[in-house]
A = this chain, B = another copy of it.
Amino acid sequence: MNILFIMFDQLRFDYLSCAGHPHLHTPNIDALAAKGVRFTRAYAQSTICGASRMSFYTGRYTSSHGAQWNGFPLRVGEVTLGDHLRKLGMDCWLVGKTHMKADAEGLERLGLAPDSLIGARQAECGFDAWVRDDGLWAEGPDGFYDAKRSPYNEYLKTRGYDGSNPWADYANAGVAGEEIASGWFFDNADKPANIREEDSETPWLTGEALRFLAQAQAPFCCHLSYIKPHWPYIVPAPYHALYGANHVPAAVRSEVERADPHPVYAAFMGNRIGQAFEREEVRRKVIPAYMGLVKQADDQMGRLFAYLEESGRMRDTMIVLTSDHGDYLGDHWLGEKDLFHDPSVKIPLIVYDPRPEADATRGTTCDALVESIDLAATFVEAAGGSVPDHIIEGRSLRPFLHGETPSAWRDFVISEYDYSVTPMCRTLGVSSRDARLFMVADRRWKLIHAEGGFRPMLFDLETDPEEFRDLGDSPDHGEVRAKLYAHLAAWGRRMSQRVTRSDADIEAMRGRSLRRGILPFLQDGREVPDELTAKYRGPVRQRHLVDDEGR
């Protein structure tokens, strides 16, 4: 069996028709859901691209792998999905984005050349790169945001787009009269991008995936990872015109939220993107563009799935479709992601398993508490391995796919956000070490703990599914908070770094030292079988005693 692991970036869990979006029709993704299981309570391990992705790619919480924000290198030696799969004889390829930052200092310390096979895999988070493109070729007075070269920009140049950064000038910009109308400006979100639709990012990457698939040797894992519908919010024709202000859902927000907000929440509401998304005119321009980007993505899924059908790959390939986190889009007076309301922390997750064992669950949904780290475990098992649970902290979703009830499934999920690099760290006056948030949620409650001496936030997902009423200091909810804090404390004590010894190793070690001569408990040796003490008995061959007794 192969694995096709499709990730979109910043795709909200509820912006799919199979997830109930009132206006957006995504028949191709829906068709995948109809063949697989759609998980309705899937959570990202972090609400920021880089950290979330490193969790997907290692199967470990962000506090465990340590790459807790964009641009924080994943330390050299951290075991990745690629390492696990290759041990099982499965290649692990990347087509698109990872947001991986190489641990240059660690590579140098270990003498690993980034252009060696091992060094390159360390630098690419365990993947072999068919094409790596992180999709943000932003440029400012201090240079490019991303110092790597852009395969997508190179592609655009071969297609006749001029200038040094056609990503900025064409793929992510429209036209206003004779001027470039940058997609960075929300005012331009309703304009079509000045690019042929087939040359825009999502179709380009789909083409790369098709080229990869045409030559791939089974078994393979292919991580097909799109930048869209991530901002800049602009989409080529005809997608720019499919949706209008009448298709924009009302913002899920309430004045109650602004009455006495938690300080961390208040800081994020007050940031530039929160301020921008407060304005209805922003939402009315941005959300139709975002929907257009999703619609385009769905059409590209149609193209991809058609190829898989034709080539027979649909019969021997597990397909996963997910996102690294969501997008507030003005809900809760916020833009972007960062915090832990459902639009940000929940992710779409569809898993199609071609095996007959999965026939019974096709087209169903599963509301178990799922974490993004579960995919690495699922993939290792799909590749024929058993999950190395001293390294991978997630659990395989296979039982859910095969209609089984896994024993003792988790009863809470964790997500984390390190905002030390953001301006909100300074706004709040917390140290970079304390600029960390932890979400712990069960099926009913969601608690957010903020380091730095703040009270927690608490939401009742049952009576307040919109998450408007923060019960973080409600006198009636002390027990609930205590219960969730106990979950968080247990999680904090988890065994996350004993990565060089498996349970099987430990079993094999247990009691072994006795038969290797370690006997620090014997009165005279008669307590154990002779064979254990044989090496310590025998005639004295030489006398070296030089004590006063002259023996």
List chain A positions with a Cβ less than 8 A from chain B: 63-69, 71-79, 83, 103, 105-106, 109-112, 116, 118, 122, 136, 138-145, 160-163, 165, 168-170, 173-175, 178-180, 182, 184-187, 192, 194-197, 199, 231-232, 236-238, 240-241, 271-273, 275-276, 279, 282, 335-336, 418, 420-423, 425-426, 431-433, 436, 438, 449, 451, 485, 488-489, 491-493, 495-501, 503, 506-507, 509-525, 527, 531-549, 551
* A426 → B minimal CB distance (Å): 7
**Inter-subunit contact B64/A497 (CB<8 Å):** yes
CA distance A273 to B523 in the complex (A): 10
CA distance A103 to B498 in the complex (A): 12
CA distance A520 to B275 in the complex (A): 12
**Inter-subunit contact A179/B515 (CB<8 Å):** no
Chain B residues with CB under 8 A of A449:
493
**Contact status of A522 and B276, CB under 8 A, knowing A112-B110, A501-B72, A547-B240:** yes
**Inter-subunit contact B186/A426 (CB<8 Å):** no
Chain B residues with CB under 8 A of A79:
109
**Inter-subunit contact B426/A185 (CB<8 Å):** no
* A125 → B minimal CB distance (Å): 13
How many copies of the polypeptide does the oligomer hold?
2
**Inter-subunit contact B532/A141 (CB<8 Å):** yes
**Inter-subunit contact B506/A238 (CB<8 Å):** no
**Contact status of A186 and B522, CB under 8 A, knowing A197-B546, A537-B179, A547-B237:** yes
Name which residue of chain B comes closest to A502, CB basis. Answer: B432
Taking A66-B498, A103-B500, A161-B542 as known contacts, 4 extra A-B pairs with beta carbons closer than 8 A to each other, sorted by chain A number, are A110-B110, A110-B112, A192-B547, A335-B520
CA distance A503 to B72 in the complex (A): 12
**Inter-subunit contact A110/B103 (CB<8 Å):** no
Closest 10 CB pairs of A and B: A492-B492, A237-B547, A66-B497, A138-B517, A77-B77, A182-B536, A140-B517, A489-B489, A272-B521, A145-B516
Partner of A515, one of B116, B141, B509, B536: B141
**Inter-subunit contact B196/A501 (CB<8 Å):** no
Chain B residues with CB under 8 A of A118:
109-111
Chain B residues with CB under 8 A of A103:
500
CA distance A180 to B449 in the complex (A): 63
**Contact status of A179 and B540, CB under 8 A, knowing A72-B500, A500-B103, A546-B196:** yes
Chain B residues with CB under 8 A of A160:
542
CA distance A34 to B498 in the complex (A): 41
**Inter-subunit contact B282/A421 (CB<8 Å):** no
Partner of A517, one of B139, B236, B527, B545: B139
CA distance A194 to B536 in the complex (A): 13
**Inter-subunit contact B503/A432 (CB<8 Å):** yes
* A227 → B minimal CB distance (Å): 13
Name which residue of chain B comes closest to A83, CB basis. Answer: B109
Chain B residues with CB under 8 A of A537:
179-180, 182
**Inter-subunit contact B180/A539 (CB<8 Å):** yes
Query: Mind listing 10 A-B residue pairs with CB under 8 Å?
Result: A63-B493, A72-B498, A103-B500, A106-B500, A110-B110, A110-B118, A192-B547, A195-B544, A232-B520, A421-B510
Name which residue of chain B comes closest to A277, CB basis. Answer: B521
CA distance A527 to B276 in the complex (A): 11
**Inter-subunit contact A335/B521 (CB<8 Å):** yes
**Inter-subunit contact B516/A139 (CB<8 Å):** yes
Name which residue of chain B comes closest to A503, CB basis. Answer: B432
* A410 → B minimal CB distance (Å): 14
* A78 → B minimal CB distance (Å): 8
**Contact status of A161 and B544, CB under 8 A, knowing A64-B497, A497-B65, A517-B139:** yes
Name which residue of chain B comes closest to A422, CB basis. Answer: B510
Chain B residues with CB under 8 A of A532:
140-141
Chain B residues with CB under 8 A of A513:
138, 145
